[in-house]
A and B are shown apart, each in its own frame.
Chain A
Amino acid sequence: MPKRIVVDGNEAAAYGALLAKPDMCAVFPITPQSSVGEKVATFIANGDLKADLLDVEGEHSVLSMLQGGALAGARTFTATCGQGLAFMFEPYFRSPNLRLPIVMCIVCRDGITPQCVWGGQQDAMTVKEVGWIQMHCENNQEITDSIVMAYRIGEHSDVMLPVNVCFDGNFLSYAAEPVEIVDEEIADKFMGENNVNWHAALDPERPMAIDPLTGMTAPGGEAFARYREGQCKGMQNSLRVIPEIHKEWKELTGHDFAPLIEEYRLDDAEHAIMTIGSMTGAGKDAVDVARDKGKKVGLIKVKTFRPWPLKAMVSALSKIKALSVVDRSVNFGWNCGPLYQEVLATLPFLDKKIPLVSLIGGLAGTDLTIDHMAEAIKTAEDAAQGKVAEETIWLNKMY
Chain B
Amino acid sequence: MYEIRFHGRGGQGSVMGAQMLNKALLDEGKYAVTIPAFGFERRGAPVQAYLKFDDKVIRQHTNVRFPHCVICIDPTVPNTVNIFEGMQDNGVAVLCTNKSLKELKLDPKVKKVGLCNAINIAKEVIGRTITNTIMLGAFIKTTGFVSLESLNKAMGEMAFRDAALEKNIVAVKKGFEETQVYEL
Binds A, one of B60-68, B87-95, B98-106, B143-151: B60-68
Q: Mark B28-43, 1 if CB is under 8 A from A, else 0.
A: 0001111111001000
Q: Mark A282-305, 1 if CB is under 8 A from B, else 0.
A: 101100000000000000000000
Provide the residues of chain B in CB contact with A368, threshold 8 Å.
62
A4-B26, A6-B19, A176-B19 are contacts. A285–B35 as well, Cβ < 8 Å?
A: no
Q: Write the chain B residue with the least CB distance to A278.
A: B61
* Pair B59/A175 contact, Cβ less than 8 Å: no
- CA A367 to CA B48, docked complex, whole Å: 14
> Which of A5, A8, A168, A177 is within 8 Å of B58, CB to CB?
A177
Within 8 A of B (CB), among A244-303: 278-282, 284-285
* Pair B26/A6 contact, Cβ less than 8 Å: yes
Provide the residues of chain A in CB contact with B15, threshold 8 Å.
174
Q: Mark A158-189, 1 if CB is under 8 A from B, else 0.
A: 00000000001011101111100000000000
* Pair A177/B40 contact, Cβ less than 8 Å: no
Question: Is A53 interfacial (CB 8 A cutoff)?
Answer: no
Provide the residues of chain B in CB contact with A170, threshold 8 Å.
35, 37
Question: Is A117 interfacial (CB 8 A cutoff)?
Answer: yes
A interface size (C-beta, 8 A): 26
Provide the residues of chain A in CB contact with B31, threshold 8 Å.
177-178
Provide the residues of chain B in CB contact with A78, threshold 8 Å.
none
Question: Is B23 interfacial (CB 8 A cutoff)?
Answer: yes
State how many angstroms separate the Cβ of B18 from the closest Cβ of chain A: 8
Question: Is A139 interfacial (CB 8 A cutoff)?
Answer: yes
Question: Is B168 interfacial (CB 8 A cutoff)?
Answer: no
* Pair B26/A178 contact, Cβ less than 8 Å: yes
Question: Is A83 interfacial (CB 8 A cutoff)?
Answer: no
* Pair B26/A281 contact, Cβ less than 8 Å: no
B interface size (C-beta, 8 A): 22
Question: Is B22 interfacial (CB 8 A cutoff)?
Answer: yes
* Pair B61/A171 contact, Cβ less than 8 Å: yes
> Which of A139, A172, A174, A176 is within 8 Å of B22, CB to CB?
A176
Question: Is A370 interfacial (CB 8 A cutoff)?
Answer: yes
- CA A198 to CA B174, docked complex, whole Å: 62
- CA A285 to CA B58, docked complex, whole Å: 9
Q: Write the chain B residue with the least CB distance to A174.
A: B36
Provide the residues of chain A in CB contact with B62, threshold 8 Å.
171, 281-282, 367-370
Total contacts A-B at CB 8 Å: 66
Q: Write the chain A residue with the least CB distance to B19.
A: A176
* Pair B59/A177 contact, Cβ less than 8 Å: no
- CA A8 to CA B32, docked complex, whole Å: 12
State how many angstroms separate the Cβ of A236 from the closest Cβ of chain B: 32
* Pair B34/A175 contact, Cβ less than 8 Å: yes
* Pair A282/B60 contact, Cβ less than 8 Å: yes
State how many angstroms separate the Cβ of A156 from the closest Cβ of chain B: 31
- CA A117 to CA B42, docked complex, whole Å: 14
* Pair A172/B61 contact, Cβ less than 8 Å: yes
> Which of B23, B34, B37, B59 is within 8 Å of A285, CB to CB?
B59
- CA A6 to CA B150, docked complex, whole Å: 14
- CA A178 to CA B30, docked complex, whole Å: 10
Provide the residues of chain A in CB contact with B157, threshold 8 Å.
5
Q: Which of B22, B37, B59 has the most CB of A within 10 A?
A: B59
* Pair B61/A6 contact, Cβ less than 8 Å: no
* Pair B60/A176 contact, Cβ less than 8 Å: no
Provide the residues of chain B in CB contact with A172, threshold 8 Å.
61
A4-B26, A174-B36, A175-B33 are contacts. A282–B65 as well, Cβ < 8 Å?
A: no
State how many angstroms separate the Cβ of B72 from the closest Cβ of chain A: 20
Within 8 A of B (CB), among A1-41: 4-6, 8
- CA A56 to CA B127, docked complex, whole Å: 38
B-contacting residues of A (Cβ < 8 Å)?
A: 4-6, 8, 117, 139, 168, 170-172, 174-178, 278-282, 284-285, 367-370
A-contacting residues of B (Cβ < 8 Å)?
A: 15, 18-19, 22-23, 26, 31-37, 40, 58-63, 65, 157
- Please name 16 pairs of A and B residues whose Cβ atoms are closer than 8 Å in the assembled complex, sorted by A: A6-B26, A8-B19, A8-B34, A170-B37, A171-B61, A174-B36, A175-B33, A175-B61, A177-B58, A178-B32, A281-B58, A281-B62, A284-B59, A367-B65, A368-B62, A369-B65
**A-B complex: 3 closest residue pairs judged by Cβ atoms:** A281-B59, A282-B60, A176-B34
